[in-house]
A and B are shown apart, each in its own frame.
Chain A
Amino acid sequence: MPALLVGSLIAGLALSSLDLNGVTADQVSSLVDILLMVFVFIVSVDVGAGLDRRTVSSLGKDALLLSAGTVMGSLMVGLAFSFVPSLGMKGALAASLGMGWYTLDGPLVTASLGALAGATGFLSNFLRELFTFFAYPVFKRRLGGRSSISLGGATTMDTTLTVISAVGGEEVAALSFLHGVIITILVPFLVLLALAILP
């Protein structure tokens, strides 16, 4: 299953190098949005049909623990990268605290710190998402399916939910979505806080 998913991603990348009669990235992005909604609906029906009250309450606690780990990990790496001259503490933390949400982090950092830091914010979060597609099955064997959800940051409620639900099963998929929701709520606050208060 992970091979099929990664293969689909690679096939799409390969097809984009051919002449597609004027098909643009924006047009395909609209299709991605629609398919994302369909996918989230299918996964959520599956999750909803398999969940009882006891499971939800235990998943809620675990989702908070996972989110705390995700934020702490990103914070530590942001501080470690503060020594990169082109970023500084503000740029490094604003990029790392994007936690996979590149469409938000890139523009926010660009507006505040300029093109180079903005490009780093965009690319680092975009690459985090891509990395999760390939790394989740490997990390699941080492750290377990639940802890490895933190790899994906905010993307675990949408795009990387594909790999996580396929490899981890429906209960891990539900936890992954809850984690993604919590991180998605936190990202705008944390990035703006980093940009606003740091020197």
Chain B
Amino acid sequence: MFEEVLAVFVIGILVGQVLRMWKVKPRLWQVSAITASALLFSMGLSIGLGRGALSQILPEAVGTSLLLGTTAAIAGAVVTFFIRGRRRD
């Protein structure tokens, strides 16, 4: 999956650079927003449909996982904020 996503990204960047050379400014904001919504809707559906299987794998892991996942995310952002000299850009 990683290789495919990377390949699509590189192709997209190259297409964007070609459009830039031709001085074409694509207005993809709305298409991007619609695709993002469809992607997240499908993801929600996928998560919901898989919930039965999820609930069978040891419910006691949920509390620790919630703390571990959110704390790791916050710690990453805070450490990065300090590494970058507390810039709020």
Taking the closest CB of chain B, its distance from the CB of A198, in whole angstroms, is 16
Mostly, the B contact residues are helix
Q: Are A16 and B51 in contact (CB under 8 A)?
A: yes
A1-32 interface code vs B (CB 8 A; 1 in, 0 out)? 10011101111111111001001110011011
Q: Considering the complex, give the chain A residue whose CB is closest to the CB of B12.
A: A44
CB distance from A24 to the nearest CB of B (A): 6
Q: Report the minimal beta-carbon distance from B35 to chain A, rounded to whole angstroms.
A: 5
- Residues in B with CB closer than 8 Å to A125 are 69
- B contact residues, total (Cβ < 8 Å): 73
CA–CA, A10 to B89, complex, Å? 30
Compute the total of residue contacts between A and B using a CB distance below 8 Å: 297
A23 touches B58 (CB 8 A): no
Residue of B2, B43, B83 near A12 (CB, 8 A) is B43
**A residues less than 8 Å from B32 (CB atoms):** 39, 42-43, 46, 165
Contact of B20 among A16, A48, A145 (CB under 8 A): A48
Total residues of chain A contacting the partner, CB 8 A: 100
A158 to B36, CA, bound (A): 10
Closest to A180 in B: B5
User: Residues of A contacting B80 with CB < 8 Å?
Assistant: 65-66, 68-70, 73, 143, 147, 149-150
A37 and B62 contact, CB distance less than 8 A: no
The reply to whether B13 and A116 contact each other, CB–CB distance below 8 Å, is no
Taking a contact as CB atoms under 8 Å apart, the answer to whether B35 and A39 are in contact is: yes
> Do A43 and B84 touch across chains, with their CB atoms under 8 A apart?
no
List the A residue with the shortest CB-CB distance to B44.
A12
- Flag if A120 contacts B68 (CB, 8 Å): yes
**What are 30 A-to-B residue pairs whose CB atoms are below 8 Å?**
A9-B44, A12-B45, A13-B44, A16-B48, A28-B45, A36-B5, A40-B9, A41-B9, A41-B11, A48-B12, A49-B19, A49-B24, A69-B79, A69-B80, A70-B79, A77-B68, A80-B71, A81-B71, A115-B57, A123-B66, A124-B65, A124-B69, A131-B70, A139-B77, A143-B80, A146-B89, A151-B77, A153-B72, A159-B40, A184-B2
- Apart from A12-B43, A35-B42, A149-B77, what are 18 other A-B pairs with CB-CB below 8 Å? A15-B44, A15-B45, A39-B36, A45-B15, A65-B80, A69-B84, A73-B72, A81-B64, A81-B67, A96-B68, A123-B61, A126-B65, A127-B66, A139-B77, A146-B84, A151-B76, A157-B5, A159-B43
